Amino acid sequence: MYMLYKSTRGISKKITSPYAILNGIAEDGGLYVPEELPKLDKDIKDLVAYSYQELALYIISLFFPEFSQEELKIAISDAYDESFSDQQITPTVKVGDLYFLELFHGPTLAFKDIALTLLPKLIELSALRDKSKKQPVVLTATSGDTGKAALQGFAGVNGVKIIVFYPEDGVSPIQKLQMITQEGNNTSVIGIKGNFDDAQKGVKELFKNEPLKEKLADKGYFFTSANSINIGRLVPQVVYYFYSYLSLLRNKEIQPGEEINFAVPTGNFGDIFAGYYAKLMGLPVNKLICASNENNVLYHFFNNGIYDSRRELKTTTSPSMDILISSNLERLLYEISERDSEATKNLMEELSQKGFYKLTDKIKAGLKDFYSNFALEEEVASTIYSLYKSTGYLMDTHTAVAYSVLKKYKEDCKDSTKTVILSTASPFKFSKALCSALDIELSEKDIFEASYKLSEASGIPIPKAIEELKEKPILHKASCTPEEMKIKVQNILNI
């Protein structure tokens, strides 16, 4: 069996899923999507008893049928192992009348682990089918969590190099330390003197640089991506939407077929788009609540049909959402335009050339499955404080953005549909911001003080992955301007 993938912009040729995973981004600059989106061929009720690993095997097989069941089973078993602190991998926790889908139990304490523990194995399987036998170079921009999760996943993987660019002043101290202490002879980490959008734009330009790609090929290399522009990164995220729904069914919180909402803290749009794929596949989803921080470009897009990136990027306490160009939104444009690749290409060209685009009324009508709003910094802090004081539940800043927006959704829409909030990172990755929200005084002596004081106040142990950082040496000290990214890559690869 096989499934063909094509570009959202319609120019590149159709390819099978292993080649879509290896290429990361299409030659025409578009993102790969299945030629035909798979649908569930089992009733939701029949999946209730599935473990996370069994469900992942079922869902991922629908997208990537070129891999054998045994290959995928081994890859999934290796990915979702004891490195996750919860056997459910992504448990849904009830707090009062709220539901939190906890996605931070992996090795780097963020939701990116769900896909990036598996993606290296998918790339290895795909490379076995690549007749060129060239060596993958994983080129990735990060707003914080993707970088460490990708580095962790690819470190030591034979035949693969990984290069991560991050905004030097645009990630939390813990996020930065996680990346620059990363071990592995095949890993490179470079700080950008700019923001995430600068890093992401630079990476995309490197992917499209034909002379550079020719030099890579001469040396036996090719670029691939660990960002959610890569379909191999996006598909594993579809699984936890189904798993959360099934968890509610198992616990008799909902009835079979009952629709629920998901509130998702959103930056690059990959996480929430995975939920949209789940809905299109047959998951009973009422609304996908797109939660932004003060960088609220998506709020304006969903409410007036205009995507306008011509604004100054704000640095917030939820840095993984400090993004003005949401790459995965291109896949949504493709779907809501009734898979019109020409319309999608034109909109993306407008964004590139003018910094904005406006949807036609017909395309804008496709946004009906979404609600969007944003949270101010003071709302994020007060939400963390009020939930902790009333329930003892501690959530990170990104999760607090989602909960803040959920409250606005309920007020605006008077909707009593049960809603799952995606909790995307451990609170200890942003302990300084949480201490501030909880009025815990800090002396600013070192970056670990906040973690210890947060643990002391909450009674929650500091995660081992953060505790271990204290003893790790700084291994990556390189930095550059966005204009120097190409030179850095060439030096690392000696081309």
Burial (CB count within 10 angstroms: exposed 0-12, middle 13-18, buried 19+), residue 196: buried
Q: Is residue 112 annotated as part of the catalytic site, yes or no?
A: yes
What's the Cα-to-Cα distance from 417 to each of 101, 393, 402, rounded to whole Å? 16, 22, 16
13, 42, 73, 112: which one is catalytic?
Answer: 112
Q: Which long-range contacts (CB under 8 A, 24 or more apart) does 385-394 make?
A: 385/437, 385/438, 385/439, 387/95, 388/438, 388/458, 390/96, 391/95, 391/96, 392/458, 393/95, 393/100, 394/427, 394/434, 394/454, 394/458, 394/460
- The contacts of residue 439 (CB under 8 Å, 6+ apart) are 385
162 by DSSP, 3-state: which?
Answer: strand
| Contact (Cβ atoms closer than 8 angstroms) between residue 215 and residue 493 | no
Rounded CA-CA distance 264/286 in Å is 14
Rounded CA-CA distance 269/216 in Å is 30
Q: Which residue type sits at 188?
A: S
What's the Cα-to-Cα distance from 93 to each of 38, 100, 101, 395, 465, rounded to whole Å? 29, 5, 6, 12, 22
Rounded CA-CA distance 44/67 in Å is 24
Rounded CA-CA distance 407/58 in Å is 34
| Contact (Cβ atoms closer than 8 angstroms) between residue 269 and residue 327 | yes
Handedness of CA 435, 440, 446, 452 (dihedral sign): negative
Q: How many CB atoms lie within 10 A of CB 329?
A: 23
User: In terms of Cα–Cα distance, which of 258, 264, 261, 242 is closest to 369?
Assistant: 261
DSSP class per residue in 290-339:
EEE-S--HHHHHHHHSEEE--SPPPP-S-GGG--SS-TTHHHHHHHHTTS
- Only one residue has tokens 């996680």, namely 178
Q: Which residues are annotated as catalytic?
A: 112
